[in-house]
Amino acid sequence: MSHFSPWIDGPIVGLYLLVTMAAGVYVRKYVGKVEHFLVAGREMNLYLGIASLAATEFGIVTCMYTAQNGYKYGFAGSTPGICQALAMFVIGVTGFCIKPLRDSGVITIPELLERHFGPRVRWAAGLVIVLGGLLNMGIFLRVGGEFLVIVAGLDTKTFPLEWMMTILLIMVGVYTIMGGMLSVLVTDFLQFVVMSVGLIAVTLLVFYRVGWNTLAETVATHHGDGGFNPFVHPELGWSYVAFNLLLNSAATLTWQTTIARVLAAKDTKTGRQVYTRTSFFFVCRFLIPGVWGIAALAYFSSGGATAPENSLHALPAFLSTFVPVGLMGLLLAAMLAADMSTDSSYMLTWGSVIYNDLLGPFHRGRWSEKTGLLYNRFIVAAIGVFLLFYGLWYEMSGNVWDYLGVTGTIYLSSMSTLLISCCYLKWTNDWGAIGAIIAGAVFPVSFLVLQQMDATKSFANDTIGPYYSGIAAYVAAATAMVAGSLLKKALRPESPSVPAA
């Protein structure tokens, strides 16, 4: 039985929603140009950038998969957070790739790639980014809806999951369509505050009522030394750490929702500072919900209740009875804030790639600002509809983090190779770029297909596993870039590396 009280917790959630929606809709009057809609006129300052990046990259789906990692692997499941924090700090300090990217004044990564590889590569890169991004985001609404329904103890017969998903989508869609990045930044800030207060309050409650010793003993009992060390965990090992180092480095460089904060920053220095000063948040992002997941394991293994079959549902099932009335309202507001900030930013970001790179050849210099804004708003709405139907249709198989890692790798492997080549390896060319895009997508797409077919499901999950297929994608993309570029130089030594439009 959930501790959610409609009369005490309901108004807390309602007040949060009212303030957020009002703020998001209010700033729409400042949107006069496409640049305002997509990158907030490049007027974002440091602390707003930190709040926005943190809020964007922490959604309900984040909380669910990081808690699932804690539940299934102990503290070792938080290793990806350390990998991402290290990558973000190093990239922020050195300016590796993000300095030339921000200096170039582009709105999206494919726009920069065009300058080195030509317009065909820009279009292909845009397509891969949108495909990987939308597949990745496709499960957000469903996972978010499941969490809210379970924690609030709603009866799915009288309040179906589909309703929760639709309500979530409409609330996010309204202010994102009206105000674009400006609304996203302002609501991200409010959502960061609410989300952080809720996360810290529940974490302190876990320490107070469960205690560190119980958490550590639970991990030691269920996972042994592997619960503290990913290298000796039987299900993780070196391939898990290597894949996460590659994945998180590539994501920090080219994940469009993350890089959008660098591109919206008022200058390159601010963009780099946003990275260095937000980097440790990515440890918190994995570790804090990971501790909640371990607390859920302690609760279920001590006979507190019957553990749910799906480990993804362990956290919401635990929280629904662990968090008291009053704090439950704050938790739900925090999780709504986390989810809305992520969904709004992701919808806008993938929309910006569709408008800027896929539709680029059709509108270059010919559409008025008003027409451009209209198309952008339509694209964001269309992405929302896609999310609703994909979330209803796609059945999750296996770990959520693995799914996100594999779908993200469809584009992260090739785009990170292309961006590094574009910024620093001037001898590379469009043949290498197209080769990298194809090679980088083949492995993760094949893995996803094998995983969905009954005949090959166990082969995909047990023999190959997501980590080896992921590592193969990064190696293949880099190899194809080198081989393709050298092949073009050998066969067509007279042709320029940048093809004409």
Please identify which residue in 124, 130, 168, 199 interacts with other proteins, judged by CB under 8 A.
Answer: 199
Nearer to other proteins, 229 or 268 (CB): 229
Which residues 6+ apart lie within 8 Å of 154 measured at CB?
148, 164
CA atoms of 146 and 160, how far apart (whole Å): 10
Residues 208-227 binding other proteins (CB under 8 A) are: 212, 216, 220, 225
Phi then psi for residue 265, to 5 deg, are: -65, 155
Nearest distance in Å: CB 199, other proteins? 7
Does residue number 48 form part of the binding site for other proteins (CB under 8 A)? yes
CB of 170 to other proteins, least distance (A): 25
Cβ nearer to other proteins, comparing 127 with 197:
197
Residue at token pair 């507190």: 304
- How far, in Å, CA of 26 to CA of 13, rounded? 20
Going by C-alpha positions, the residue among 438, 353, 461, 367 that lies closest to residue 137 is 353
If DSSP codes are grouped into helix, strand and coil, which group holds residue 44? strand
Using the contact rule CB under 8 A, the part of the chain among 24-32, 234-242, 340-348, 424-432 near other proteins is 24-32
Q: Which window, 162-170, 195-203, 390-398, 456-464, contacts other proteins (CB under 8 A)?
A: 195-203
**Judged by CB, which is closer to other proteins: 228, or 468?**
228
Shortest Cβ 297–other proteins spacing (Å) = 15
Q: Please state the closest distance from residue 283 (CB atom) to other proteins, in A.
A: 6
**How far apart are CB 246 and other proteins at their closest, in Å?**
22
Question: 37 or 140, CB closer to other proteins?
Answer: 37
Q: Identify which of 216, 169, 165, 134 has the alpha carbon closest to the alpha carbon of residue 408.
A: 134
Amino acid at 92: G
**398's torsion region: left (phi>0), alpha (psi -120 to 50) or beta?**
left
DSSP 63-116: HHHHHHHHHHHGGGGGHHHHHHHHHHHHHHHH-TTHHHHHHTT-SSHHHHHHHH
* Residue 33 C-beta: closest distance to other proteins, Å: 8
Q: Residue 168 CB, nearest distance to other proteins (Å)?
A: 24
- What are the two backbone dihedrals, phi and then psi, of residue 325, each rounded to the nearest 5 degrees? -55, 145
- Kindly tell me which residue out of 6, 11, 15, 47 binds other proteins, with binding defined by CB under 8 A: 47
464 makes contact with other proteins (CB under 8 A): no
Q: CA quadruple 324, 81, 129, 442: dihedral positive or negative? A: negative
Instruction: Give start and end residues of each alpha helix (H) in 138-160.
Output: 140-152
Which of 14, 15, 45, 397 is the binder for other proteins (CB under 8 A)?
45
DSSP reduced 3-state for 482: helix
Residues 165-184 that bind other proteins (CB under 8 A): 182
DSSP class of residue 311? G
**Stretches 38-46, 109-117, 137-145, 333-341: which one binds other proteins (CB under 8 A)?**
38-46
Interaction of residue 50 with other proteins, rule CB under 8 A: yes
x/- map, 55-94, other proteins, by CB under 8 A: --------------------x--x----------------
Q: CB 87 → other proteins: shortest distance, Å?
A: 17
Beta bridge partners of 44: 265
CA 63 to chain centre: 11
Instruction: Tell me the HSE value of 448 on the side-chain side, using a 13 A CA sphere.
Output: 22
Residues 253-312 that bind other proteins (CB under 8 A): 280-281, 283-284, 287-288, 291
Nearer to other proteins, 196 or 429 (CB): 196
| Cβ nearer to other proteins, comparing 45 with 368 | 45
Q: What one-letter code names the amino acid at 127?
A: L
**Residue 500, phi-psi category: left (phi > 0), alpha (psi -120 to 50), beta (remainder):** beta
Residue 265, beta-bridge partner list: 44
| Residue 13 CB, nearest approach to other proteins (Å) | 20
The DSSP 8-state label assigned to residue 308 in this structure reads P
Closer Cβ to other proteins, 220 or 305, answer by number: 220
Contact 158, 326 (CB under 8 A): no
Number of residues in contact with other proteins under rule CB under 8 A = 41
Closest approach, Cβ 313 to other proteins, in A, equals: 24
Alpha-carbon dihedral angle through residues 50, 405, 435, 115, given to the nearest 10 degrees: -10
**Binds other proteins by CB under 8 A, chosen from 4, 71, 192, 467:** 192
Q: What is the largest CA-CA distance in the chain?
A: 75
Options 193, 327, 464, 487; binder of other proteins; rule CB under 8 A: 193
CB-nearer residue toward other proteins: 215 or 323: 215
Virtual CA dihedral for 113, 117, 119, 125, nearest 10 degrees?
A: -50
Q: Which residues bind other proteins (CB under 8 A)?
A: 27, 30, 32, 36, 40-41, 43-48, 50-51, 75, 78, 182, 185-186, 189, 192-193, 196-197, 199-200, 203-204, 212, 216, 220, 225, 228-229, 280-281, 283-284, 287-288, 291
